[in-house]
Amino acid sequence: MSEYKWPDPATRPLLGKRISRVDGPLKASGRAKYTYDYNPNGLLAGKILRCPHAHARIVSIDSSAAEKMAGVKAVKVLQQPGTEIFWAGDEVVAVAAVDESTAEDAIRAIKVQYEVLPHSVSDAEPPTNVGVSSGPISRDDFEDMEDNQVPDEQVIAAIKANGISFKPDDKYLKDAQASGVDPKVVEALRAAKYAEATTARSPYKKTAVQKQGDPDKAFTSAAAVSEGLYGASCITHCCLETHGMASEWPTDKDLVVHVSTQNLSGIAPQVSEPLGIPAGNIQVLQQYIGGGFGSKFSPDRWGIATAQLSKAAGGKPVKIMLERDAEQEVAGMRPSGFARVKIAADKDGKLVAWESRSWGTGGVGGGGSPPLPYIFEIPNQRKQHIAISTNQGSARAWRAPNHPQAAVITMTAIEDLTAKMNMDPVDFITRNLELTGPREKIYRDELPIAAELMDWKNKWHPRGDKSAGPIKRGLGLSLHTWGGRGHNSDCDLTIHPDGSVEIKMATQDLGTGCRTIITIVAADTLGIPLDNIKLLIGDSRYPVSGASGGSTTSGGVTSSTRRAAVDARDQLFAKVAPALKAQPEELEAVNATVRVKSDPSRSLRWKEACAKIGAMPMTIRGKNPDKSKPPDLTNSGVGGVQMADVSVDTETGIVRVNKMVAVQDCGLVVDVKTAESQVLGALIMGISYALYEEKILDPVTGRMLNPNMEFYRLAGIADIGEMKVHMMTGKGYDERGVIGLAEPPVVSPGAAISNAVANAIGVRVPFLPLTPARVLEALENGGTHATV
Amino acid sequence: MKDDSTRKPENTSGVSRRDFMKISGVGVALPLVLGPKMVEAAGEEVAVHGPGKVPIALTVNGKKLTAQLEPRVTLLDALRDNFDLTGAKRVCDRGVCGACTVLMDGKTVNACAVLAIDAQGKNITTIEGLAKGDALSPVMQAFVAHDAQQCGFCTPGFIVATTHFLEQHPNPTAEDIRRGLSGNYCRCGTYNGIRAVALAKPEGRAS
């Protein structure tokens, strides 16, 4: 019986070590080819005409002048006259031409008339008299809830209570389940009662009050009660490589696409349907991707357009990469999340009651609600959420959907209560860890490590830096969690008679180190060097592996690779055993040899051993999940603690991060180096959204005012301060199996930095980003009110 | 449409047939046919190029590259679309993010903010010119060793900028790094590694 479980620390030559990413040299030399770089001879440039209005109806489209222009090869109307457009920047017409400038000229020559309709882009606090929504759930509403990972039980309750205004057929339900919708939710859809959509559409969708325990009594008898206003504005994904795709038809039945995607194996099914060709006739390719962060799961309308334009242009390759302004305006944003919170503790500093009225927007669909209160299961609660429909490009999953907003609302409220009780937040949080459920022990391990790395005991002071001068310094902390688990993943591992090893998997490496950890697991299991393995990913003709979302890739790809490598190794042992005069189970593969465990002098070098396979290579399929090959090699549920040290200039309102500390668990760490990089990157992305990033919409025109990179500001190298990352490893962590790391560490920075600013200046700055204007406003007015 | 002849870099190491024709004098009058139109503006004679395609010659990584390009084409697009030098990336396309950083006469420029026609006569070095064959430059090696890259899309621009920065600041302080490498943005968050690269002071260019 093969032993699939992760090896013990003593027998791991590569697993858990500090290894440089395997594709590092190719990227550093500028030779890594991204979708944006795809540039075959005869490539046609595609461009999109976008609607300039936030809400409009298309009256007429005249593309005749563009069609006649020299160099224009195809024109495709994407949304017909009569169609209602719900956000500025939505796609109307696509053209393909010999080069970009000709395509741009063609776009300018197209005349579209619109009937402009009233729009709303404000996510300001809704009025108090908004009634609870009872209208049926539209397809948009449903998909929006799924995109935002609204908990399954909430989705099911909403479907049951409100009915649905669309009629999902079997195919829709099947596709939904295939794309990861929980079977219970699919069943609820199937059983849902149909109701006509109401025509009068309020921008507000208000949930019923959720209540547990007796919040009124708990607030009355509490020792301390704190009330506050918290939240985070809409931000964008701002992938450096914009969204885009290139399509070409080698024959009139076969399509090849190059696409910037987090979902290589899932693209063909999404392209086949609108084009009406079999998914098996579509080959999807991508070697490198310049960022996704949750925004690149679909081919999108512009991607489909490249295939349509190519077809119309006789099959020649057509590429559309979004311009930066379109990327910022329509290709993904993180919903805003705000709340008025009341929170209470007893005299021992135990949390007893929570009340929140939260709101936010994720575009036209409204958006999901953050899981409040975050982390802490406070016994008495009353909460209600209002989703605001706004005329802007829809929300897409943004690393750890809804969690950063939940942390920014909860961890801040807890910190304000702590300050009111004159307690140290580390002490207060520690007293309440029993409310964190299964993650309690992890946080208990992590908090002292984080405090030590931050020198919290010496540097922390009660709220309000009392030192002289305008620069105030403070510390803050936050906790976070995420699920994980491993997605479905298949791979083929081939051992050739010459000793070379190749692995094929239709996955993607978003820069997380996916290639590196697959190679490490295989090399570690086979006892051979990393460069003995040729890893082939990025081609839909390889075995299917899941989308990179929700921190599920590391668990999935390492599990399938481990099973394939163990089976391949054991089959090799069976072939080699007679030559070593041993039984297969007496053998081990270490240091590029296959040898007898009890007598290492009886050994064959790896190449010699592989020669025993015979003339033909042997290929083994590895799968995840695979109940026939236990144990489960992945897991779910991680915990992390982060702390921030900031300085605030109370004269200018400028916040500077001096230091960030992150202590993170992710089960068994496959590669310490790339794991640390991912946490460091999350801290930096967190500094960026905590201090600078905001999607600003003009209430008059409904357009994004900063769809660029000078006014949509990312953190730069000057903004990051000192950074310390500690990965939890060893006993209690390794045996949990491999868990992904993309979401968890990006959850806490906003809350930790906001708390540090409050600790520095003595007043809460309610909303992220903590811009100079917001800091100065809070200093002037106190933190109880804020402009969004 | 792009044709194959404009996409292949010309090698200057030998005398091509076209060079020979120029040397022999046959081609001397040709530039007048294709060259700029002279007009008077504000009392001075100025050259007007375009709006159609004009011949453009660039010196990139020591090689002479020629193409027929509209005068509105940027250096970045010429490098990427016509010469398949795709290491420099188009990200913001307006001189903010540094992803298209190349060296022009030894100084860093945003290739998206320079017209190809204006880059004629300058020595352009791209990321491809910093690596010698398969051998990484010392700065590239340091980027790998310090894991100063994730998705890698900003990396070529950052490496060109860091190479130039270290030539200017062989012993940089933390403050030098804050100021000197602020012209490039990264979305994955690799600045901690890049700072470590700069502090490790790898020697600038490949030998």
Tens digits of residue pLDDT in A115-136: 999 999 999 999 888 877 767 8
Q: Which two tokens stand for residue A405?
A: 């907003």
B80 to chain A: which residues are within 8 Å by CB? 37, 39
Q: What is the pTM of this model?
A: 0.92
What is the predicted pLDDT for the residue at A179? 74
Residues A493, A470, single domain; the answer is: no
pLDDT of residue A533: 98
CATH for B138-200 is 1.10.150.120
- pLDDT for A366 equals 84
Could you tell me if B53 lies within 8 Å of chain A, comparing CB atoms?
no
In-domain check, residue A394: no
Residue pair A267/A299 in contact by the 8 Å Cβ criterion: yes
Give the pLDDT confidence score for residue B30 in this predicted structure. 39
Whether the per-residue pLDDT at A143 is higher than 60: the answer is yes
Which pLDDT score is estimated for A786?
A: 54
- Tell me, yes or no, whether A288 and A166 share the same domain: no
- How many distinct structural domains can be found in chain A? 4
| Average confidence (pLDDT) over A261-286 | 97
Residue B115 in contact with partner chain A when CB distance is under 8 A: no
Q: How is chain B split among helix, strand and coil, in percent rounded to 5? A: 35, 20, 45
CA–CA separation, A723 and A657 (whole Å): 10
User: Is A28 an 8 Å CB contact of chain B?
Assistant: yes
Contact assignment for B187 to A685 by CB distance below 8 Å: yes
Give A787's pLDDT tier (boundaries 50, 70, 90): low
Does residue A305 contact residue A94 with C-beta atoms inside 8 Å? yes
Decide which of A579, A597, A624 is a domain's last residue. A624
Residue-range domain boundaries for chain B: 4-125, 138-200
Domain stops at, among A561, A589, A624: A624
Mark yes or no for CB contact B188/A683 under 8 Å. Answer: no
* Residues ≥6 apart with Cβ < 8 Å to B134: none
Residue A718 lies in a domain: yes
Predicted pLDDT at B206: 47
Q: Are residues A223 and A268 in the same domain?
A: no
The CA–CA distances, whole Å, from A228 to A355, A357, B23 equal 11, 11, 80
Residue numbers in B near A21 (CB within 8 A) = 144, 147, 149
A90 φ/ψ sector (left φ>0, alpha ψ -120 to 50, else beta)? beta
Phi then psi dihedrals of residue A725, to 5 deg: -120, 135
Distance from CA of A677 to the nearest CA of B (A): 7
A124 lies in a domain? no
pLDDT at A89: 98
A193-197, A717-721, B152-156: which has the minimum mean pLDDT? A193-197
> Are A146 and A197 found together in one domain?
yes
Question: Quick check: is A82 in a domain?
Answer: yes
Decide if B122 touches A, using CB distance below 8 A. no
The answer to whether residues A770 and A737 belong to one domain is yes
* pLDDT, position A534: 98
pLDDT digits (tens, 9 = 90+) for A13-39: 999 999 999 999 999 999 999 999 999
Are A639 and A746 found together in one domain? yes
Indicate whether A396 belongs to any domain.
Answer: no
Residues A234-260: b if buried by 16+ CB within 10 A, e if exposed: bbbbbbbbbbbbbbbbeeeeebbbbbb
Local structure of residue B71 (DSSP, 8 states):
T
pLDDT, tens only, A723-741: 999 999 999 999 999 999 9
d(CA A138, CA A148): 15
Selected for mutation to probe chain A from B192, B194, B205 (highest A CB count within 10 Å) is: B192
- Residues A20 and B144: beta-carbon distance below 8 Å: yes
- pLDDT class for A197, splitting at 50, 70, 90? confident
Q: Could A718 and B92 be called an inter-chain contact, meaning their C-beta atoms sit closer than 8 Å?
A: no
| A328 domain-assigned | no
Q: Quickly state the pLDDT bin for A181 (edges 50, 70, 90).
A: confident
Q: Give residue B24's pLDDT.
A: 39
Q: Do A511 and B151 touch (CB under 8 A)?
A: yes
Which residue of chain A is at minimal alpha-carbon distance from B152? Answer: A27
Regarding whether A221 and A145 lie in a shared domain, the answer is yes
Please report, as a single letter, which amino acid is at residue A639: G
Which of A365, A388, A411 lies at the terminal end of a domain, its last residue? A388
Per-residue confidence (pLDDT) for residue B43, from 0 to 100: 84
Q: Where do the H-state alpha helices sit in A182-317?
A: 183-191, 215-221, 264-275, 300-312
Q: What is the pLDDT of residue A535?
A: 98
- Residue A198 pLDDT: 64
Residue A367: pLDDT band with limits 50, 70, 90: confident
pLDDT tens-place string over residues A736-783:
999 999 999 999 999 999 999 999 999 999 999 999 999 999 999 876
- Sequence-ordered strand ranges (E) for A423-553: 471-484, 489-495, 501-505, 533-537
Task: Please report whether residue A93 resides in a domain.
Answer: yes
How many CB pairs below 8 Å do chains A and B form together?
184
**Block residue for tokens 């057509």:** A318
| CA–CA distance, A687 with A646 (Å, rounded to integer) | 11
How far from each other are the two terminal CA atoms of chain A, in whole angstroms? 61
Residue range A365-381: average pLDDT?
93
What are the structure tokens assigned to A67, written together?
Answer: 């069609």
- Is pLDDT at A199 greater than 80 in this prediction? no
Does residue A763 sit in the same domain as residue A639?
Answer: yes
Which two three-digit tokens encode residue A735? 């045996």
- pLDDT score of A473 more than 50: yes
Strand partners, A595: A588, A603
**Which uninterrupted H or E stretch holds A431?**
helix A425-431
* B191/A717 CB distance under 8 A: yes
Query: Which residues of chain A have a CB within 8 Å of the CB of B145?
Result: 20
Judged by CB atoms within 8 Å, which residues 56-75 of B form the interface with A?
70, 72-73
Tell me: do A767 and A651 sit in the same domain: yes
Condensed to tens digits (0 to 9), the pLDDT of residues A238-258 reads: 999 999 999 999 999 999 999
Strand runs labelled E in chain B: 37-41, 44-48, 54-60, 63-69, 101-104, 107-110, 123-125
CATH number at residue A267: 3.90.1170.50
Choose from B110, B139, B151, B199 for mutation: most chain A CBs within 10 A: B151
Segment A172-182 mean pLDDT: 82
Residues of chain B with pLDDT under 50: 1-33, 206-207
Phi and psi, residue B190, nearest 5°: -105, 10
Q: pLDDT at residue A200 above 80?
A: no
Task: Write down the pLDDT at residue A151.
Answer: 74
Q: Tell me which residue in A37, A293, A716 faces B86 most closely, judged by beta carbons.
A: A37
Residues of A in contact with B91 (CB under 8 A): 240-242, 324, 709
Same domain? A501 vs A599 = yes
> Do A687 and A703 reside in the same domain of the chain?
yes
Q: What's the CA gap between A653 and A650, in Å, rounded?
A: 5
Tell me if chain A has a CB within 8 Å of the CB of B107: no
> CB distance from A612 to chain B under 8 Å?
no
Residue A167, number of CB atoms within 10 A of its CB: 9
Find tokens 């490589």 and name the residue.
A241
| Whether A765 contacts A758, CB under 8 Å | yes
The two counts, helices (H) then strands (E), for chain B are: 9, 7
What is the fold, at CATH topology level, of the domain defined by B4-125? Ubiquitin-like (UB roll) (3.10.20)
Residue A129 located in a structural domain:
no
Q: What is the CATH classification number for the domain harbouring A557?
A: 3.30.365.10
A31 touches B: beta carbon within 8 Å:
yes
Share of chain A above pLDDT 70, in %: 98
**Which range marks the domain in which residue A267 is found?**
35-119+243-321
pLDDT at A72: 98
User: What is the chain B residue with the closest CA to A742?
Assistant: B188
Interface check for A679 against chain B (CB to CB < 8 A): the answer is no
Give the model's pLDDT for residue B8: 42
pLDDT at A140: 72
